[in-house]
């Protein structure tokens, strides 16, 4: 190709490319705006760690446990129930995370919304290596204050070492996602 052809092509197409880029940018901005309009404002306001650390619930043996004892760790609070199949399916991965990242400062704590006997049975069956608390059915309300607006399970909250809630997730958390977040915070 000749230099003449290239410069002519460039001169002809550069304005058009710039125009297309400008249109695409305008489209992207419009898309964001439409997206925000459809989704509404962000669902949950920023919450302080006290929303989590202030919680005290009995463990599966009946002894009261305050979440504040894990202040300073990367705390993962997982709301679950035995009647929730996706909860039971994600928990073995949580056990693995606790085993691998626990020594580095990760602490997973389950809050069960269920009968304690059923929870004990399930906890034994998967060799649960982190505490799970008996939230009673009222713990669903607690999860709502932490951002679980439709009050479904599983629901997981991640609190960093300084007490800031960095993740509120409805639905199972993948091991990759949890590892990535935890590694960043630890």
Partner 1 sequence: MDTRPTSRGLSPKPCRRLSLLVAASWALALLAGVPSRAAELLPPHEAFALSARAIDPQTLEVRFDIVDGYYLYRDKLKFNAGAPQPVATTAELPPGKVKHDEFFGDMQTYRGQVDIRIPMAAPEGGRQLMLVTESQGCADAGICYPPQRQILSLAVPVAGEAPSSWVVAPVGRPAWLK
- Which residues here bind partner 1, judged by CB under 8 A? 5, 8-9, 16, 20, 23-24, 27-35, 38-39, 81-88, 113, 122, 137, 140, 150-154, 170-172
Contact 64, 56 (CB under 8 A): yes
- Give 33 or 180: the residue with its C-beta nearer to partner 1: 33
136/112 Cα distance (integer angstroms): 7
Q: How far is the CB of 162 from partner 1 (least distance, A)?
A: 26
Q: How far is the CB of 86 from partner 1 (least distance, A)?
A: 4
112/119 Cα distance (integer angstroms): 7
- Give 40 or 45: the residue with its C-beta nearer to partner 1: 40
Instruction: Give the closest residue to 144 by CA, choosing from 79, 96, 83, 85.
Output: 79
Contact 160, 166 (CB under 8 A): yes
Q: How far is the CB of 148 from partner 1 (least distance, A)?
A: 10
- Give 13 or 48: the residue with its C-beta nearer to partner 1: 13
- Give 98 or 148: the residue with its C-beta nearer to partner 1: 148
123/55 Cα distance (integer angstroms): 21
- Give residues with Cβ within 8 angstroms of 169, minimum separation 6: 155, 156, 157, 158
Q: How far is the CB of 182 from partner 1 (least distance, A)?
A: 20
Q: How far is the CB of 30 from partner 1 (least distance, A)?
A: 7
Instruction: Give the closest residue to 61 by CA, choosing from 133, 137, 136, 135.
Output: 133
CB-based burial of residue 113 (10 Å sphere; 0-12 exposed, 13-18 middle, 19+ buried)?
A: buried
- Give 113 or 165: the residue with its C-beta nearer to partner 1: 113
């Amino acid at each position: 190709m000749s230099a003449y052809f290239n410069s002519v092509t460039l001169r002809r197409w550069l304005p058009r490319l710039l125009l297309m880029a400008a249109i695409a940018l305008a489209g992207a901005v419009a898309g964001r705006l439409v997206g925000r309009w459809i989704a509404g404002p962000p669902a949950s306001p920023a919450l302080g760690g006290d929303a989590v650390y202030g919680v005290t619930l009995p463990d599966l043996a009946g002894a009261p446990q305050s979440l504040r004892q894990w202040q300073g760790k990367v705390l993962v609070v997982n709301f679950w129930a035995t009647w929730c199949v996706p909860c039971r399916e994600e928990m073995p991965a949580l056990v693995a995370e606790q085993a691998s990242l626990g020594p580095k400062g990760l602490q997973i704590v389950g809050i069960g919304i269920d009968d304690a006997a059923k929870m004990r049975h399930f906890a034994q069956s998967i060799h649960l290596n982190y505490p799970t608390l008996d939230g009673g059915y009222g713990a669903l309300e607690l999860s709502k204050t932490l951002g679980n607006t439709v009050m479904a399970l599983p629901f997981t909250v991640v609190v960093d070492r300084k007490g800031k809630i960095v993740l509120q997730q409805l639905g199972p958390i993948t091991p990759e996602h949890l590892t990535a977040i935890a590694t960043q915070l630890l």
